[in-house]
Structure 1
């Protein structure tokens, strides 16, 4: 039978989405990055994880000798634990405080080795830039429907990759704050590579020879500084001639000393140990010291500036820069970000993590709502989302990516139902110095 044209039904042709079949790109294979991958895989969403190092948690490996002040109870993501359990993995003692090395060996590396995750991780891959295909940040037409373009450098060269969404969990450890009070590095920083050391050196292990019998100045008033001061105190008892000075900008190190109200006993213990070192004279505290420059000297370096408003200088052999960290935003120049002008955290998140008001344990629950930027389906999570604030704990990052995963899976109600219980510190004033919360 021949049908009349009038009896034909016209059906519009629907073009396939440009995002169809594309994975979510995750930058960084640290604890929060792998938690994001686990959460998304659990929801049936494909992922690709780009990791700059040669293993998962490459930044943690650099401070693996350091013991965390947070027990296992707060260090394992729920989705990651479920994936690991299928392979016979068992949760470590929840009350035990692991070192960074133990966090890697007993949790992160086994997680990264699971077949589903292992197939998704690209090691030796540095994300140089994130943009949209054919669109810089000035073009507004259908950004949400346009795939992300990631420029990635690998051992094989530079490649361009596509993604439906991007979660940047690259952290901040490789982007320390400047050593000077101005936030800048010393003018002759290239000549100081042997004298100025990154935060959390292995004082009692691999780096012992650099500090034994030397005069070390630790700069900063965070937990990274506290860990280094305690290690140096131990070394001073073993190696004659070892001297320790400690420079802070504030009038007193209240955040390091902590409070009797701290629900994490190990964190409170850090403060008590540092306070004892200062009281006994093992550590010389240089409060209200604003450093203007660090200059090479015949033996060591000269650290100059102002102390309590007066010109001041101290000669030392080694400087440990424990001044905290800041986010590297250079790869995100073509992404539309909404960041707080001071903390450099997402604008809606910044007042919730302000280090002048909050400690690690007083940050309220938050998720996709606070982490959303003007760029659709782009998120910064983990330590990097806190910008320059040192109030981050891993449990906070895990809840962030759980919320983001639900949002990307279309479960909007679950994404906005955020729940998080963190241990209180009893300290909500930082005195202005930046440091790091070692989860």
Structure 2
């Protein structure tokens, strides 16, 4: 029996998150059959894991236009565009209804374990581009399957692979042994069991981006509550504290993110968290029921009860080892995209929308999109992902004019984005950008025992505007 022509095969999309489901909607709009493979038990599985956290971006910016068209015949109505959803809202009110419309085109509990060219490992050149992709899948029930595809869109994100506490990019000595006291996500302090874990405890928060801001604000709120007496945060930064440490504040064109940075700053100034700067974690030692963090320069901190590591995420490239990817050696992002998003180089207003050309690889027909396309770069907006998949779907359909056309205007804050804590949707929208124009040392209030070190050269560990 002859194999079907490559153009008759579906496009396989890896991941049923915001970018993956939007990719499926754009493919359908172009008459191309998608098949979405989601490792989790439901659409938006990763988003559901931070369901308690509120987005920076309002509903008007987190619904893809092609997806909305697909949803419209079902009677679905987009929530108030000016309001800010939580991760749980996003998953339940948008991602799940979209997956329901796509129906059998979305398979959950489907873990992709390998992607290659049919009959060709990464070494073989002969007739390579004429072969379909072969995708190895293991289902939750243990069943395995091999699927053929005309193209592959990897929108699996980076949520499953958080970066470690160790400043070298590797786990700190003792980090794995202390796993029972360390988490790599913003804790849900509304959950009674989680709240009890941190109430009255001393908790180290490692990281300098939006997730760290969120954790600090949550811990400060807990400290102010009746059951949180004695709760204390210890904020560990690899750099010094400067004018850009807390983001753009009231000048941030994404007011939700600005409010988040101000909440973290207040937590420090009001004494609910101590900031320790220039601290690069090398060792995590046990001290009875507590942990002691040791820096590479030998500094030792007072013992803490818990550690929250929020040092960013990195892409899982293990199942792509047999395809030819062109990735930047630093960010692990596509080589043409990397200079646009490199936190060592760019400022928030200099990143422009991009599409299939910046996302292409030596292996024709495979694209990394969404948060995964940014590799280790820390900042991303849902709008950027939607524009990516619109362009990629057009390219797969052969409509290069549409694929090359930029159809998105980002705010001057560029691609800085993600999820954060925000409780004031009416906040001021004025200002010129997300980042402070020049690093200036911040004199923090007397109530906090703050170690202010030198301002490090280059970008902060969490990127220019948080992660």
CA distance in 2, matches of 1:108, 1:218: 31
Are 1:427 and 2:435 an aligned pair? yes
Q: Provide the rounded CA distance (Å) in 2 between the counterparts of 1:438 and 1:283.
A: 19
List alignment gaps of at least 5 residues for structure 1. Answer: 1-14
What is aligned with 1:11? none
Alpha-carbon contact 1:250-1:431 (below 8 Å) kept:
no
Which residue matches 1:250? 239
Of 255, 265, 273, which aligns to 1:265? 255
Whole-Å separation in 2 of the counterparts to 1:255 and 1:362: 17
Match of 1:368 in 2: 356
Match of 1:348 in 2: 336
The change in CA–CA distance for 1:128 and 1:261 in structure 2 (over 3 A counts) is: same
Match of 1:414 among 402, 408, 421: 402
For 1:209 and 1:436, how far apart are their aligned partners in 2? 34
CA shift digits 1:300-342 (9 cap, x unpaired): 2111114xx5623331010001000000111111010101111
Q: 1:16 to 1:323 in 2, by over 3 A?
A: closer
SS at match of 1:159: strand
Determine if contact 1:221/1:255 at 8 Å carries over to the other structure. Answer: no
Instruction: Quote the Cα distance in structure 1 between the aligned partners of 2:300 and 2:239.
Output: 15
Whole-Å separation in 1 of the counterparts to 2:72 and 2:52:
27
**What is the alpha-carbon distance in structure 2 between the residues aligned to residue 361 and residue 51 of structure 1?**
34
Q: Kindly state the Cα deviation for residue 35 of structure 1 after the two structures are TM-superposed.
A: 0.2
Q: Secondary structure at the match of 2:94?
A: helix
CA RMSD between the two structures: 2.0
Report the Cα distance in structure 2 between the residues aligned to 1:118 and 1:88, rounded to whole angstroms: 16
The 1:100–1:331 alpha-carbon spacing in structure 2 relative to 1, beyond 3 Å, is same
Per-residue deviation at 1:253? 5.8
1:37-436 → structure 2 map (5 Å cutoff): 37-114=24-101, 117-154=102-139, 155-206=141-192, 207-238=194-225, 239-252=228-241, 254-259=243-248, 260-306=250-296, 309=297, 311-358=299-346, 362-423=350-411, 424=413, 425-427=433-435, 431-434=459-462
Q: Which residue of 2 aligns with 1:29?
A: 16
The answer (yes or no) to whether the contact 1:393–1:438 under 8 Å persists in 2 is no
- How far 1:438 sits from its partner (Å)? 8.5
Measured after TM superposition, the shift of residue 188 of structure 1 is 3.3
User: Could you tell me how far apart the structure 2 residues matched to 1:16 and 1:330 are?
Assistant: 28
Larger Rg: 1
- 8 Å CA contact 1:171, 1:382 repeated in 2: yes
Partner Cα distance (1:268, 1:366) in 2: 25
The CA deviation at 1:17 is 6.5
CA distance in 1, matches of 2:23, 2:293: 43
Shift of the 133–18 alpha-carbon distance from structure 1 to 2, 3 Å rule, reads same
Measured after TM superposition, the shift of residue 362 of structure 1 is 4.3
What's the offset of the Cα at 1:21? 2.0
> 1:360: how far off?
5.8
Q: Highest relative contact order (Cα 8 Å, sep 6+), 1 or 2? A: 2
Displacement, 1:426?
2.6
Deviations 1:157-180 (A, max 9, x none): 222111110000000011011211
- SS where residue 269 of structure 1 aligns? helix
Scaled by the length of structure 1, what TM-score is found?
A: 0.92
Secondary structure class of the residue paired with 2:233: strand
For 1:436 and 1:357, how far apart are their aligned partners in 2?
10
For the 8 Å contact 1:61–1:104, the answer to whether it is kept is yes
Moved over 6 A (4+): 435-439
Shift in alpha-carbon separation, 1:437–1:42, aligned structure 2, 3 A: farther
Structure 2 counterpart SS, 1:112: helix
Distance 1:316 1:226 in 2: 19
Give deviations 1:25-46, integer Å, cap 9, x for gaps.
0000000000000000111101
> How many aligned positions are there?
421
How far 1:241 sits from its partner (Å)?
1.4
C-alpha spacing 1:253/1:199, structure 2 compared with 1 (3 Å): farther
